[in-house]
Amino acid sequence: MKAMRCCVAGAFPCLRAYFHLERRLRAYILTTYLPSFLVVLLSWLSFWIDLESAPARTSLSILTILTITTQSSGLLRSMPAGSFTKAIDVWMATCLVFVFGAFIEYSIVNTLARRQKAKTSREGTTISGLLAATAAAAAPIQPTATSSAALTLGAKTQRVRRTNLNP
């Protein structure tokens, strides 16, 4: 028989219980972490899609953003409410940042490409005008005829006149 301890408040029997708690990591990995990781990888596929394929890149980006937000909201509904931040919340927020970052990257690259294309097309018309003027200047000239061509180089305009010196 065990002796009971006496305390100031009196003698009380003691009951000890040991609980072994184990987290089901496999379920979380298969239902949350792996699918969200694959959606992030899917959003990064837009980096290899041609820049001119705007509908494909935009729809892929919007689809992955919607998928991550749907996953996150479904996960929040299945978890008990708490005022503290959980690791899964941080994971889902990070996934959303990566997916949204891929969308923003495409927006920036598309804007810069359009500016570059507009700049090149403006210079292209100047160069094509220069080539046409050069071709006109190199053409054989009729006697006593005057040929003039306008060459546009930036803001300067030069007039080139060729006059046949033969009477």
User: Residue 41: pLDDT above 70?
Assistant: yes
**Per-residue confidence at 10, pLDDT binned at 50, 70, 90?**
low
User: Residue 67: pLDDT above 80?
Assistant: yes
CA separation for the pair 84, 77 (Å, rounded): 15
**Per-residue confidence at 158, pLDDT binned at 50, 70, 90?**
very low
DSSP character for 8? Answer: S
Note the pLDDT of residue 103. Answer: 94
SS3 126: helix
Phi, psi dihedral angles at 9 (to 5 degrees):
-80, -15
**Per-residue confidence at 119, pLDDT binned at 50, 70, 90?**
confident
SS3 90: helix
Query: What are the residues facing 151 on neighbouring strands?
Result: 158
Burial track 118-147 (b if 16+ CB lie within 10 A, e otherwise):
eeeeeeeeeeeeeeebeeeeeeeeeeeeee
Domains of the chain, start order: 26-78+88-127 (1.20.58.390)
**Per-residue confidence at 22, pLDDT binned at 50, 70, 90?**
confident
User: Residue 141: pLDDT above 70?
Assistant: no
